[in-house]
């Protein structure tokens, strides 16, 4: 079963025919909202809005463990997550879409494992390749069928948020090898790995990161909204093709 997690700018899928919704009780508390069960182009899919239906949950307060547990409990084995980012590398301009293949975690204080020694013994999982190569290839195929450009590969720096970064922090992330910056990629990716769920991310670039491009002297949130309105239309087309290919 394929699960789609929507982030900033994607709290619902207009092309999803909803057949049911259910709020799942989990050992880790409540997820961000009800799971939406439905069909897209005749294929089943489960959708979850990461920040809640009204985008009321900030990145650091998302109950990532409950979200991932709830999806797995309903049979989800593969997840494509949408995660908005700021572009650090010069090729990642606003309105481009990228599928990262690596991640660096700068977050703190988030519940980032199911194996915390409380209800499950400590376990060290391999996280060398944090994203599913199978799902990355599927996203690239979908982009070709949707006739949408997609940047293949990049390093996602996951920061704590909810504030945006300073120019000096972005310089540091770039020195570390990051090409984009976001706030929700972790611990979502590692929790999926612990549950043996294949996971990939589609990342629309909403803005230049601080100190880059037209963000040299600051970032205007209204500009981000305008870019996302245009870019999410393309992301929805891409997801539709992902669902179709996955269904076959």
Cβ(176)–Cβ(104) under 8 Å? yes
State yes or no: 192 annotated in a binding site: no
- Tell me the DSSP string of 170-203: HHHHHHHT-SEEESSSTTHHHHHHHTT-EEEEEE
State yes or no: 209 annotated in a binding site: yes
State yes or no: 63 annotated in a binding site: no
State yes or no: 221 annotated in a binding site: no
State yes or no: 199 annotated in a binding site: no
Q: Identify the three-state secondary structure at position 4.
A: strand
Q: How far apart are CA 210 and CA 216, in angstroms?
A: 6
Q: How far is CA 68 from CA 117, 187, 239, in A?
A: 19, 10, 19
State yes or no: 183 annotated in a binding site: yes
State yes or no: 131 annotated in a binding site: no
Which residues in 221-241 are b (16+ Cβ under 10 Å) and which e?
Answer: eeebeebbeebbebbbbbbbb
State yes or no: 51 annotated in a binding site: yes
Q: How far apart are CA 54 and CA 34, in angstroms?
A: 12
Cβ(242)–Cβ(80) under 8 Å? yes
User: In the chain, count of helices (H) and strands (E)?
Assistant: 5, 12
**Which residues make up each annotated binding site for substrate?**
183, 207-209
**Which residues make up each annotated binding site for phosphate?**
8, 50-51, 184
**Which residues make up each annotated binding site?**
8, 50-51, 183-184, 207-209
């Amino acid at each position: 079963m394929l699960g789609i997690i929507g982030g900033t700018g994607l709290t619902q899928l207009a092309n999803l025919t909803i057949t049911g919704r259910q709020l799942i009780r989990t050992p880790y508390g409540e997820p961000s909202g009800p799971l939406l069960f439905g069909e897209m182009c005749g294929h089943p899919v489960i959708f979850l809005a990461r920040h809640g239906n009204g985008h009321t949950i900030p990145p650091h307060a998302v109950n990532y463990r409950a979200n991932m547990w709830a999806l797995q409990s309903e049979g989800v084995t593969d997840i494509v997550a949408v995660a908005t980012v700021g572009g650090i590398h010069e090729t990642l301009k606003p309105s481009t879409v990228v599928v990262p293949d690596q991640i660096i975690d700068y977050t703190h204080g988030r519940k980032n494992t199911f194996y915390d020694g409380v209800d499950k013994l400590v376990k060290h999982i391999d996280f060398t390749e944090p994203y599913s190569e199978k799902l990355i290839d599927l996203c690239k195929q979908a982009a070709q069928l949707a006739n949408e450009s997609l940047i293949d590969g990049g390093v996602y720096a996951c920061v704590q948020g909810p504030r945006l970064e300073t120019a000096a922090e972005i310089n540091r992330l770039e020195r570390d090898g990051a090409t984009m910056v976001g706030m929700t990629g972790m611990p979502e990716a590692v929790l999926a790995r612990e549950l043996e769920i294949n996971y990939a991310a589609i990342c629309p670039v909403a803005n230049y990161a601080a100190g880059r491009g037209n963000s040299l002297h600051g970032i205007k949130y209204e500009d981000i909204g305008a870019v996302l309105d245009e870019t999410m239309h393309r992301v929805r087309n891409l997801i539709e093709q992902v669902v179709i290919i996955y269904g076959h």
